[in-house]
Amino acid sequence: MPSLALTVNGVTVDVEPGTTVAVAAMLAGQPCRVSVGGASRGPLCGMGICFECRMTINGKAHGRSCQILCEPGMDVRTDD
């Protein structure tokens, strides 16, 4: 199966089709977000309920990355 490339905080990552953005961030070694206390946060529920996986995806803030499938050329930011 061919892979597709996207960037997470400027880090290019290749994933298989059907991969969620949350998984791509983990593969790129990037947290989903950083708490106000400075702790790295990752996806918790994997169902879009907890909102721990919010990221800016293609310029749109607060996307629930555990529910969004990767697309070629996506620009994902967790450090905004």
pLDDT in tens, 13-34: 999 999 999 999 999 999 888 8
Let me know: does 32 contact 65? Beta carbons within 8 Å: yes
Residue 55: pLDDT band by 50, 70, 90 thresholds?
very high
Q: CB 14: neighbour CB atoms within 10 A?
A: 14
Q: What is the residue type of 21?
A: V
Class of 18-77 in CATH: alpha beta
